[in-house]
Amino acid sequence: MKYLTLAVGLGISAAAVLVVPGSGATASMQTATVVDKPHRVANKYLEQRPDWIQCGEAEFRTYCAKITVPRDWANQYSGNDLQIAVSKVAPAKGKPSRVVFGNPGGPGGAGLGMAPYLASQAPLAKDHLTVGFDPRGTGGSTNVSCDGSPGYTMDPRDRDPANQALISEASAMVKPYCDRQSRGLLPYITTAQTVQDMDLIRQLLGFDKIDYVGYSGGTWLGAYYQTYFPDHVGRFVLDSNTDFTKTWFDTFVSQPQAFERRFREDFAPWAAKYDAQLHLGSSPSEVIRTYERLRRALKERPAVEEFLDAAVQVTYDQNALDMMVSNDMYTKLDFYSLAVDMAFIRDLSAAQAKGGPQAAQRQVDGLSLARQQQLVQRANRAPVGLRTFGTFGTVDSEDATFNAITCNDTAWPQGPETGAQLAARLGPHFPLIGWTMTENPCFYWNRPNLTMPTPTGNGLPTTLMVQSVHDPATSYGLAVSAHSRYAGSRLLTVTNEGDHGVYGGVNRCADRIVNTFLTTGKAPAKDVSCAGEGIPAPDKLMPGLDDAGTGYSKETPLRRIAGFTKAVSGYLR
């Protein structure tokens, strides 16, 4: 039997104003030599000739190759080279005049699917070579791993000192596991190293400048590429923005409030409006009380059920509920499924309380196999875009790369005190994930001796930043903050919208502006906004519907990218 547990606490890191990185309460540093500035590329890397092979179905027109990069760009002759998986799609006719790179975020998300995804945007397909790649550490590139590191099965709201000590111990154990499983590679999984990998790809493809579309954590990567290689910057689009002018510490501090806002101001009013269909409560406050009552019931008596003729076991507890709700805040397209699944779990919990585990299992057995499969798939689905600490996906290399990038790039305060203070401060106001401040390995991370230059935008062409106002993972305030310090940037705001990852199917107005910029170089003369279309009615969000009535697209840009990545991965050895 395959066991699938959702009993993993949702984690988040944040810093607010309690401790300032650089004030002395920051991570101790490893002595590894790491790149903190661009390095001239050794000839042996420039002279390689990638062996491009078709990857995926012929209809994707995608070709993939692996290129060789040094483990450490500051030590190019030290050996221990790495392999980076790269994908490309050329225009159907003629020679490309420009190249556009893409990154789906994470950080640590595999990105081979960016090439066919960008090529599926008709305006780009005409004269752009579209390029994706799996960043070092993840996907088809040389991997890192944290396999075996403990998850967070404790309830983060439980303030008992013994429970909090277990959370701290679990956080502190992540780094040793990552070090051991990653064979000395972990200090070299940084944005500083990754941008130099990107620039080698550019040179091997024969282009002087690159255009770029980066989502979520990919906005951080894009801003640092611009900072390290300003002479090779073309038209850059940064969508769903981190505050790349500060630290990762600062970016994650906004998440508890942003997730809570999305839940309370978007999902709860929508569910209440359609209470006759969804049955979660007739007012936003009643919907929230439904969630809190269900959470208490699942903590007291978790529901452990067998699905698909006992092939898969799923555990529903309070942490599983938190994770499900949080993951489904990334896009309005998940609101219907969230409402239906919350109602199902509520009924499951009630059946168990009244008739015991056998009664709950009968509830599951009464479902169709298709519905059971749907529940299993949702239980195993990780968020797309900038994830939260403590959330574990299905691919260990992506989780490990996420830990390495966020903990290595910029300094974090060390020890349990900051997380405990933040949980006490944010938890009561933003309970969905505010209590999980302690679930963060970066508070215990011995980082490399790395200081990266702060992105300023000085001397760069216009950068187009795209942001929805209720984005839960990268809050609107982050985009405004970065925009205010990033010279020459333009901010495209999508109002009445909260989806994470906008370009490519969320808002037609935004897509027109982005496509005009990428194809002609014409940016808005000043900051601009597009009106969102709101959250469709439940009958427009049911699985299996076509695009009609869903607001724009039946699937999110980031999930489309993930689907393309799955389709074109695995062809390289």
Please indicate, yes or no, whether residues 196 and 61 belong to a single structural domain of this protein: yes
Average pLDDT over residues 15-26: 35
CB-CB contact of 143 with 136 (8 Å): no
Question: What range does the domain containing 444 cover?
Answer: 161-178+387-450
262 and 364 in a single domain? The answer is: yes
Which two three-digit tokens encode residue 558? 């980031």
Find all residues with CB under 8 Å of 6, minimum gap 6, and list them.
Answer: 314, 315, 316, 317, 319, 320, 323, 324, 379
Whether residue 564 sits in one domain with residue 488: yes
406 found inside a domain: yes
Higher pLDDT, 260 or 541: 260
Query: What distance in Å separates the CA atoms of residue 410 and residue 309, rounded to the nearest whole number?
Result: 48
Report the alpha-carbon distance of residue 188 to residue 137 in Å, rounded: 9
Confidence grade of residue 544 (pLDDT, cut at 50, 70, 90) = low
Residue 194: inside a domain, yes or no?
Answer: yes
pTM of the entire predicted model: 0.93
The residue assigned the tokens 């990638």 is 50
**Residue 507 in domain:** yes
If pLDDT is split at 50, 70 and 90, which confidence band does 2 have?
Answer: very low
CA separation for the pair 389, 12 (Å, rounded): 4
pLDDT surpasses 90 at 14:
no
pLDDT at 332: 96
Alpha helices in 496-537 (DSSP H): 508-520
The answer to whether residue 19 scores a pLDDT higher than 50 is no
Other residues' Cβ atoms within 10 Å of the Cβ of residue 522: 12
Establish if 43 belongs to a structural domain.
no
Structure letter (DSSP) for residue 40 = P
Is a pLDDT exceeding 60 seen at residue 547?
Answer: no
pLDDT in tens, 29-75: 454 456 678 999 999 999 999 999 999 999 999 999 999 999 999 99
The reply to whether 172 and 109 lie within a common domain is no
Alpha-carbon distance of 93 to 56, in angstroms, equals: 20
Mean pLDDT, rounded, for 460-485 = 98
Q: What is the pLDDT of residue 3?
A: 33
How many CA atoms, within 13 angstroms, populate the side-chain half-sphere of residue 436?
32
Q: Which residue has the tokens 């607001």?
A: 551
Q: Do 335 and 215 belong to one domain?
A: no
Residue 308 and residue 325 in one domain: yes
The pLDDT of 442-464, averaged and rounded, is 95
Same domain, 467 and 426: no
Which domain-ending residue is among 433, 450, 467? 450
Is residue 453 classed as helix, strand or coil in its secondary structure?
Answer: coil
The span from the CA of 213 to the CA of 518, in Å, is 9
Q: Examine residue 135 and state whether it is found in any structural domain, yes or no.
A: yes
Task: Verify that 349 and 313 share a domain, yes or no.
Answer: yes
pLDDT in tens, 145-163: 999 998 889 999 999 999 9
Residue pair 179/147 in contact by the 8 Å Cβ criterion: no
**What are the tokens at 227?**
């900072």
414 domain residue, yes or no: yes
Query: Is the same domain home to 233 and 331?
Result: no
According to DSSP, the residues that pair with 103 across neighbouring strands are 214
Q: What is the pLDDT of residue 33?
A: 55
d(CA 437, CA 15): 9
Q: Which helix (H) or strand (E) holds 101?
A: strand 98-103
Q: Do 464 and 524 lie in a common domain?
A: yes
**Is the distance from CB of 10 to CB of 399 less than 8 angstroms?**
no
Each residue's pLDDT tens digit, 233-290: 999 999 999 999 999 999 998 999 999 999 999 999 999 999 999 999 999 999 999 9
Residues 125 and 79 in one domain: yes
How far is the CA of 88 from the CAs of 70, 218, 361, 365, in angstroms? 22, 18, 48, 46
Q: What percent of the chain has pLDDT over 90?
A: 84
Residue 42 lies in a domain: no
Indicate which CATH number applies to the domain containing 465: 3.40.50.1820
- Furthest-apart CA atoms within the chain: distance in Å: 72
Q: Is the domain of 105 the same as that of 132?
A: yes
State how many domains the chain has.
Answer: 3
The verdict on residue 105 lying in a domain is: yes
Quick: pLDDT tens for 396-435: 999 999 999 999 999 999 999 999 999 999 999 999 999 9
Q: How far apart are CA 492 and CA 502, in angstroms?
A: 11
State residue 136's pLDDT score.
98
Tokens representing residue 487 in the block: 């010279």
Q: Which residue has the tokens 């992540």?
A: 174
Going along 178-297, which residue ranges are E strands? 210-215, 233-239
Last-in-domain residue among 361, 380, 399: 380
Tell whether the model's pLDDT for residue 546 goes beyond 60.
Answer: no
Q: Is the pLDDT of residue 549 over 60?
A: no
Residue ending a domain, among 380, 411, 440, is: 380
> Residue 457 carries which DSSP code?
-
Tell me: pLDDT of 213 over 50.
yes
Is the dihedral angle over the CA atoms 438, 441, 445, 447 positive or is it negative?
A: negative
Answer whether 513's CB lies under 8 Å from 524's CB: yes
